[in-house]
Structure 1
Amino acid sequence: MSSDPWGRVDETGTVYVRTADGEREVGSWQAGSPEEALAYFERKYEGLVVEIGLLERRVRTTDLAPKDALTAIDHLRVSVDGAHAVGDLEALTKRLDALVGLVESRREERKAAKAKQTDEAKHSKEALVAEAEQLAESEQWRSAGERLRALVDTWKGLPRLDRKTDDELWHRFSHARSVFSKRRKAHFASLDAQREDARRAKEKLVDEAVALSKSTDWGPTAARYRELMTDWKAAGRAQRESEDDLWNRFRGAQDVFFAARSEVFAERDVEQREALSAKEELAIEAEKLLPVTDLKAARAAFRAINERWEAIGHVPRDARPKIEARMHAVERAIQESEENEWRRTNPEARARAAGLTGQLQAAVDKLVTQVEAARSAGNTARADKLAKELEGRQALLDQALKGLHEFGG
């Protein structure tokens, strides 16, 4: 018979293992010595030691799920309890018990970590919902839309909560996105309608601009083009694909008109500069008629000069006032000479002037007599008063005599 601290082999070859509850038969050995029998069953024990060691390492160093770890522990426990092995089986049981404690500890740690993760995920999702609801009222369509898409990606990366909480938050989040999407869709639909209205309005402006492009009514047409440009700006922008084409047609029509006008105006400028040179020569010729010495000859010469003047045509607008003023000055001088001649030769006017002069002379003579009489009588105050009146009448008489002299009388 052979034995060691954890087992023995009796004389029949039966192998026993020693436990706290006594010996337990684990097998029999007939082919060799008792020492070989014990060594064989001790190797089976070492196999269990290795399996438990491997499981301990997995629990400590990997993320083995608690459920899977407990299943593995139960499996090994069954193997240990019914093991056909020789060794300290109780020590193996204690290691399994300790491993159960470790797994339970890890389970609690995981539970706490998961609770923390869930709480953080809840706060994160609530923050996403709050931001989404704020963005739902934004009119920054592009940036807000991009941000909402980014929020969806962030949401997908967060762990799920309990169904009720997760569904409630997702409903709010989804509703906010829907509100924004509907508002954006309505905005761009309105914008499209406005752009279509702008397109139709600009089509009419283009049609009118094209119709006016052949006009030779330069002033009113240019003014109308300015009005069309104001209307164009007020119409707003059409769709991008239409705007450039409309503008090119609108601008092209204007270019046709203004190019034609510029050509005509360039020719007109040459003609008007030539007309100005001719009128300057006529103004010099007219100015030589002054001062008027022979009214009849001056009048005839000026009439001939003026006929040539009218036949010449327009001069540049900025030169017109000056050149016309020179001719008007000659014309006024001749007219003044005519008026003076008429006054000098008008019998009725001379008679009226003579009558007025006679009346004023009589009044002056009377006042002279009255002044002398007042002074002789010693009435100085009356004499002074009459003297002042005499000064006024004498002034009028002097003017009348001067006018009478102009009539040659």
Structure 2
Amino acid sequence: MSSDPWGRVDETGTVYVRTTDGEQVVGSWQAGTPDEALAYFERKYEGLVVEIGLLERRVKTTDLSSKDAQVAISHIREQVDAHHAVGDLDALKVRLDKLVETVDARREERKAQRAKQSDEARHSKEALVVEAEELAQSDQWRAAGERLRALVDTWKGLPRLDRKSDDELWHRFSHARSAFSKRRKAHFASLDAQREEARKTKEKLVAEAESLSASSDWGPTAARYRELMADWKAAGRAQREHEDDLWNRFRGAQDVFFAARSSVFAERDAEQTENLKLKEELAEEAEKLVPVQDLKAARAAFRSINERWEAIGHVPRDARPKVEGRMHAVERALQESEETEWRRTNPEARARAEGLTGQLQAAVDKLQGQIETARSAGNGAKADKLQRELDGRQALLEQALKGLHEFGG
């Protein structure tokens, strides 16, 4: 018979382990000496010690879930309770009991942490809703639209609450965004309506201007043309595709009349020569507004110049195209700056650009994942083919991002 402090082997080859509950049968050993039997079951004990040590470190140093930890503890406890090892099994049970306490404490700690995170998420989402509802009333279409998009991104990054609370807050958040979009759409629809009204008004002004172009009643007709010009300016801008054509017709009708008047009043050549000098000075003053740095200030300055221009009167007919062309070039530059600003702040065009960018980014992300999967699987040919496709998509994405950058995004 052979024994050690934690076990023994009797004459029949039965192996026992000593516990606080008395000796427990470990197993039967017939393949060698009693010392070999004890050594074998002592190694099994050391294996259990190693398993428990590893599990203790995992519980303390990793994010092992409580459920998985309990399963692992139960698995080891079954082996300890089965007494198939020789060693201090009671000490192992104590370690397992302490490990259960640690897991329970971690579970409560995580539960409290989740509750805290949920409370923080609730406050964050409520703050987002309040800000979105305030922005819904804003008339700063570009800034408010950009901020609402940023709020959506922030919302997506926050944890979900309970379904009822989350749905209620999201409903308010979504309603605020919809209200803003509706107001913005109505605003730009109103602008379109104003441009259409301006087109109709200017068509009437053109018709009258053309009917007066053959008049020889110089004084009253010239006065009426000045009134028509004032009405033209007051009418606002029509749609871009109509504005230039209407202006050319309007100005052309006036040119016909004033050219005829100039031929009759040839004696005014001297005066018109002086007018030309003054208009050339105004044209030079206007040309200093280009390139446009401050559109609003440039527009105001140009209106002032134009008012002085109109007050000067006519210039010699042969000099008119050149000097007026200089003014028209400045006006076109201002109009182009307005159009550029409009395109840059156009929410529909921006939305399309963002949509395209998002689609391309998603495609790039997907291809990158597929490439990693192919390389992990050792499929280099497929990975290379996907890489060529990714290079093409990334080039398109760079172009789309450049386009989006023109909107200030």
Going from structure 1 to structure 2, the CA distance change for 1:202 and 1:34 (only over 3 Å counts) comes to same
Going from structure 1 to structure 2, the CA distance change for 1:244 and 1:130 (only over 3 Å counts) comes to farther
SS at match of 1:24: strand
User: Considering only CA atoms, is the larger Rg found in Structure 1 or Structure 2?
Assistant: 1
Going from structure 1 to structure 2, the CA distance change for 1:223 and 1:13 (only over 3 Å counts) comes to same
Alignment partner of 1:66 is 2:66: yes
SS at match of 2:85: coil
Going from structure 1 to structure 2, the CA distance change for 1:26 and 1:243 (only over 3 Å counts) comes to farther
Q: Equivalent residues in 2 for 1:328-347 (5 A)?
A: none
TM-score (norm 1): 0.61
Partner of 2:137: 137
Partner of 2:300: none
Partner of 1:280: none
Q: Deviations over 1:241-293 (max 9, x none)?
A: 4334433443454445445545654x333699xxxxxxxxxxxxxxxxxxxxx
Partner of 2:267: 268
How far apart in 1 are the matches of 2:52 and 2:245? 83
How far apart in 2 are the matches of 1:249 and 1:15? 115
Q: Which runs of 5+ in 2 are unaligned?
A: 272-409
Structure 1 residue 117: deviation in Å? 0.9
How far apart in 2 are the matches of 1:115 and 1:143? 35
* Percentage identity across paired residues of the two chains: 81
Alignment length, in residue pairs?
Answer: 271
Going from structure 1 to structure 2, the CA distance change for 1:228 and 1:4 (only over 3 Å counts) comes to same
**Is the 2:17–2:83 contact (alpha carbons within 8 Å) kept by the matching residues of 1?**
no
Partner of 1:363: none
Q: Deviations over 1:371-400 (max 9, x none)?
A: xxxxxxxxxxxxxxxxxxxxxxxxxxxxxx
AA matched with 1:164: K
Partner of 2:95: 95
Q: Equivalent residues in 2 for 1:192-271 (5 A)?
A: 192-213=192-213, 215-255=215-255, 257-258=257-258, 261-262=261-262, 265=265, 267-269=266-268
Q: Which runs of 5+ in 1 are unaligned?
A: 273-409
Partner of 1:24: 24
How far apart in 2 are the matches of 1:149 and 1:271? 63
How far apart in 2 are the matches of 1:252 and 1:3? 122
SS at match of 1:238: coil
Structure 1 residue 101: deviation in Å? 1.1
How far apart in 2 are the matches of 1:12 and 1:245? 117
SS at match of 2:24: strand
Going from structure 1 to structure 2, the CA distance change for 1:255 and 1:59 (only over 3 Å counts) comes to farther
Going from structure 1 to structure 2, the CA distance change for 1:234 and 1:4 (only over 3 Å counts) comes to same
How far apart in 2 are the matches of 1:101 and 1:271? 108
How far apart in 1 are the matches of 2:214 and 2:263? 13
RMSD of the TM alignment (CA)?
Answer: 2.3
How far apart in 1 are the matches of 2:89 and 2:248? 98
Partner of 2:14: 14
Partner of 2:108: 108
**Is the 2:133–2:173 contact (alpha carbons within 8 Å) kept by the matching residues of 1?**
yes
Partner of 1:49: 49
Structure 1 residue 207: deviation in Å? 3.4
AA matched with 1:39: A
How far apart in 2 are the matches of 1:121 and 1:155? 9
Going from structure 1 to structure 2, the CA distance change for 1:27 and 1:199 (only over 3 Å counts) comes to same
Going from structure 1 to structure 2, the CA distance change for 1:35 and 1:235 (only over 3 Å counts) comes to same
How far apart in 1 are the matches of 2:242 and 2:6? 99
How far apart in 2 are the matches of 1:264 and 1:46? 122
How far apart in 2 are the matches of 1:133 and 1:65? 40
Q: Deviations over 1:95-154 (max 9, x none)?
A: 111111111111121112111111111111111111111111111122112211211111
Going from structure 1 to structure 2, the CA distance change for 1:269 and 1:246 (only over 3 Å counts) comes to closer
Going from structure 1 to structure 2, the CA distance change for 1:256 and 1:28 (only over 3 Å counts) comes to farther
